[in-house]
Structure 1
């Protein structure tokens, strides 16, 4: 990266950081996570800075931030699924089981609605 590119990058980061931090905050909902997201996206953008000379660097950086956050959401969703261990199975076995659907039915179900009489005109 030559001096022109460095100067252009420094000017871009200085002028657009507040707006890009707002975007990062909207994506993460947390100030510290937004800072991490912005820095991560900027680290991915800097190697492509020469290619962005005539393009929209802010749009590119926003796209990188969005995709980074979506990837984080997906990783978080996958982490929530864990296999049960033997201890989990033992706890599960001691929990009371719910009764079968027939036993859960109300003992006094509501009677069906009255049918109209044949003599009713309506």
Structure 2
């Protein structure tokens, strides 16, 4: 399910952010945020992932305590992934893929 213009707007308002503040936080342009909120442009999967994370207030890894390590091959479409006994939906697996890719890219920068 894709994020709607209304969800982008309401998510931003719920966080008490201006379009500029949200854009800075998620690494998008103010014009993109504005276009998404007004339904002028379709929200890309990458942008939707960034916005979803911002609206759910997931803390960056640097602010989280030690996390348990779970290994899984995320590229195998025939594999069913679970988290604490609950099967993950395909969109949740996609989100994990984006997060894993982002974490690897961040490590390469440091």
Alignment TM class, shorter chain as reference: under 0.3
Report the structure, 1 or 2, having the larger helix content: 1
Q: Report which of the two structures shows the higher radius of gyration computed on alpha carbons.
A: 1
TM-score between both structures, scaled by the size of structure 1: 0.25
TM-score between both structures, scaled by the size of structure 2: 0.27
